[in-house]
Structure 1
Amino acid sequence: MAARDRVLSCLIARAQMIELRHLRHFMAVAEELSFRRAAERVHIDQTPLSRTVRDLEDRMGVALLIRKPRRLELTPAGAKLLDHARGLFLRLERIKRVIRETDARYREPLRIGADDSTVQPRLAECLTRWRELVPDIPVELTEMRPAELLAALRSEEMDAGFSFGLPDSEAIAQHVAWMSPIVALLPRAHELACREVVSLAELSSFPAIACSASYHPGLCQQMKAVRRRYSVAPTIVGEARTLTGYLTRVAAGQGVGVADADHMRALRRTDVVVVPLAEPVHFTTYVLHKHRRNGLPESLQRFLTHATALN
């Protein structure tokens, strides 16, 4: 009895030293019944492959293959090991999926910064659809001024951001997320308020309110590009730091203005009349992220793909 126990203990000890590479290489040989084809399949030379299978047989204490001059055959023990090895690797794949799903469930959320002038319904739509498509990766949304957003992206305190554009920076990538038509904003008593459409030339003939370049550099850059394109130069009589202040100045009759249609649908001000422009001009909202030397995390790359697909 003692001798048999020692033999059994020896066999168990040998089996415990079996590595996954032994089983993976044995499976290739057992399924191909050729050391040459198996070596090509696992991308190693025949000699180390044959040595690994021999080592496995030594550790198992059984013959797994019958080596004939021109072909290989599985022994009954080899056939049984092949069956169990296949099941083992299937179980390992299932374990890998479960672990990855668990990791995703408890993964750090994506930190998204939003320029405080970006209140369009499209942003809410983007985040809602993301939650439906990828519920395991939550989003933390933080509103901030453009300068704060730029600093947060550079320091990686934010993973991504939404803005009308930030000052040119080699460190920050800016991708088009969506576009919204530019509309004219008029006081209720303005002579153009009853029009169904207004041209930029007509609008520019009246005193205008501008947004602050230091607070909203992207909006200012986009509006300057529109004016250059259509050769219009309105007289600026006031400047606003916030969208609320901008609309208040227009409503009070201090000047006319422009905004994107999505913002105006969201705000629905009764003291400001919104009239479409005759020209096909748009404000563009960008999704931004920092260029990273080692590439973007998978979750961030998926979010950027999702955000830009809305355009």
Structure 2
Amino acid sequence: MELRHLRYFITVAEELSFSKAAIKLHTAQPSLSQQIKDLEDEIGVQLFHRTKRKVELTDEGHVFLEQARLTITQADKAVTMARQVAAAKVQCLRIGFVPSAEIRIFPYILPRLRVKIPKLQICTLNLKETDQITELKKGDLDIIFINQDFQNDTFASQLVLKEPLVFMLPKQHPFAKFEEIKLEQLKELELTILSNKLSQPLSKTILQYIEFNKIQFKTIHETNHIVDCIQAVNSGVSCAILPSYMEALATDQVIVKPLAKPLPSLDVFMAFNKNPPNQATEQFLEEIRQVFALDQFALYAS
């Protein structure tokens, strides 16, 4: 016995007409009659007295009608409660990121996402790129923002933005008065950059720029902490090449100057599962597509 049999029976009992009940149920009358007969055969009692002029409930039918209504009411209540629990359940979106995403992307996407999914819990983790990729593969992160193109049969990758690199030097340095610094002048300066261990794409981009343009610095220091780069410039010890978002963290003792040969940009990619595991991930992809004018097909075609 299925719930639809009970619904058919209740409708016929209320209409006391197979033809009217069939219209109400959007089904054919012969099919409805057969469904009721199957129900009677299954429970082993006659539920209706049928004549050419009228349809009446039997005594057994009256009792069955009362219980059938209770059963349907309880079933509907169970469905409603289950849906309410699902709606109330807190969704969680787990995002790994490099710092530029926190400044350039999140302020424009996360507020929109919270409007679309009010109960959404967003967990953002600032991790090394290798750790982000590992966590994405394990399914412990839903979306990651990294400075390299990571994609395979399971994961797609999309370029979201290009983060300009800037040259920072102490405000009191003699070169600070120049509108532009010539590359040959850099041989008098010490340079501090982030180590390959912390950010391989950033380190690689900077070193390739230096090598390609045959630039010679007095010395090149590497550090595992981005704050150390800023501090080295702030204290007057060194200059630095950093993503432009770091200007917001610099003190008034740090100045940004263009080089004669423009610095490259650092690509910021978004990587995610080609089959988004939840509504929150799908909505995030839709919001970022709209805000950053990304091609919808490209999000899944990688």
Pairwise same-fold verdict (TM > 0.5): yes
User: Offset at 1:177?
Assistant: 3.6
> What is aligned with 2:269?
286
Q: Tell me the SS of whatever aligns to 1:287.
A: strand
Q: Tell me the SS of whatever aligns to 1:296.
A: coil
Question: Quick one: distance in 1 between partners of 2:56 and 2:164?
Answer: 74
* Aligned-residue RMSD, C-alpha: 4.7
Q: Which sits farther off after the overlay, 120-129 or 295-304?
A: 120-129
> What is aligned with 2:135?
152
1:97-108 mapped onto 2 (5 Å cutoff) = 99-100=82-83, 102-108=85-91
Q: 2:23 aligns with which of 30, 35, 39?
A: 30
> What is aligned with 1:61?
47
1:299 aligned partner, one-letter code: A
User: Offset at 1:214?
Assistant: 2.2
User: Offset at 1:281?
Assistant: 5.3
Question: Quick one: distance in 2 between partners of 1:121 and 1:139?
Answer: 17
> What is aligned with 2:4?
20
Q: Tell me the SS of whatever aligns to 1:286.
A: strand
User: Offset at 1:139?
Assistant: 0.9
Answer whether contact 1:112 1:142 (CA < 8 A) is retained.
Answer: yes
Q: CA-to-partner distance for each residue in 1:116-139, whole Å, 9 max, x for gaps? A: 675525434433332333221111
> What is aligned with 1:43?
none
* Distance 1:195-1:133 versus aligned 2 partners, 3 A rule: farther
Question: Quick one: distance in 1 between partners of 2:159 and 2:78?
Answer: 39
1:273 aligned partner, one-letter code: I
Count of residue pairs the alignment pairs up: 260
Q: 2:253 aligns with which of 267, 271, 286?
A: 271
User: Offset at 1:216?
Assistant: 0.4
4+ runs deviating over 6 angstroms = 57-60, 166-170
Q: Which sits farther off after the overlay, 101-110 or 238-247?
A: 101-110
* Distance 1:169-1:270 versus aligned 2 partners, 3 A rule: farther
1:187 to 2:187 alignment: no
Q: CA-to-partner distance for each residue in 1:158-183, whole Å, 9 max, x for gaps? A: 22223333777666433234444333
> What is aligned with 2:115?
132
* Distance 1:18-1:123 versus aligned 2 partners, 3 A rule: closer
Q: Tell me the SS of whatever aligns to 1:158.
A: coil
* Distance 1:159-1:30 versus aligned 2 partners, 3 A rule: same
1:257 to 2:241 alignment: yes
* Distance 1:191-1:107 versus aligned 2 partners, 3 A rule: same
Q: Tell me the SS of whatever aligns to 1:150.
A: helix
Question: Quick one: distance in 2 between partners of 1:178 and 1:95?
Answer: 48
* Distance 1:139-1:246 versus aligned 2 partners, 3 A rule: same
> What is aligned with 1:41?
none
Question: Quick one: distance in 1 between partners of 2:203 and 2:175?
Answer: 24
1:270 aligned partner, one-letter code: D
Q: Which sits farther off after the overlay, 55-64 or 139-148?
A: 55-64
Question: Quick one: distance in 2 between partners of 1:63 and 1:177?
Answer: 71
1:274 aligned partner, one-letter code: V
Question: Quick one: distance in 2 between partners of 1:298 and 1:21?
Answer: 35
2:221 aligned partner, one-letter code: G
> What is aligned with 1:232?
213
Question: Quick one: distance in 2 between partners of 1:121 and 1:303?
Answer: 15
Question: Quick one: distance in 1 between partners of 2:33 and 2:120?
Answer: 46
